[in-house]
Amino acid sequence: MPALSYSLENALFNWEAGIERLRDLERAGATRGDRVTIPVRDELRRRLGATFSAGELAELYGSGTDWALQLSGIDPGMSDLQDLVDAAFWLHLQSASDFAGGRRIKIER
């Protein structure tokens, strides 16, 4: 398996922490994460298209997520907003062309 790029490794760390925080918040009844994750994932689909790689998703993440603050229905003052945005990236990662079962896969060309 090829080594993950540094930016993808960092992104994965943040995204995994985000999905764990989302699960904690939902178990406690503190929030419905889909109020953030759905609009963010819709925007990710718009920006990346239907076919994308884990690296492309990490590049987009690395360029900043401030755009999420401007999405309709998202409260920019929400205390756990960045965690929920990170969770949305983790959820979206599951659709990456080179990611399966929690790991990156090598695509033969």
Q: pLDDT by residue for the chain (109 residues), tens digit each?
A: 455 556 898 999 999 999 999 999 999 988 788 899 999 999 999 999 999 999 999 999 999 999 999 999 899 998 899 999 999 999 999 999 998 655 555 545 4
User: For residue 17, is it within any domain?
Assistant: yes
Q: Is residue 109 part of a domain?
A: no
- Work out the mean pLDDT of the chain and round it to a whole number: 88
In the chain, how many domains are there?
1
Q: What are the angstrom distances between the C-alpha of 87 and each of 1, 23, 106?
A: 25, 9, 24
**DSSP H helix total and E strand total for the chain:** 4, 2
Which range marks the domain in which residue 64 is found? 6-104
CA dihedral 76, 60, 8, 37 (to 10 degrees): 40
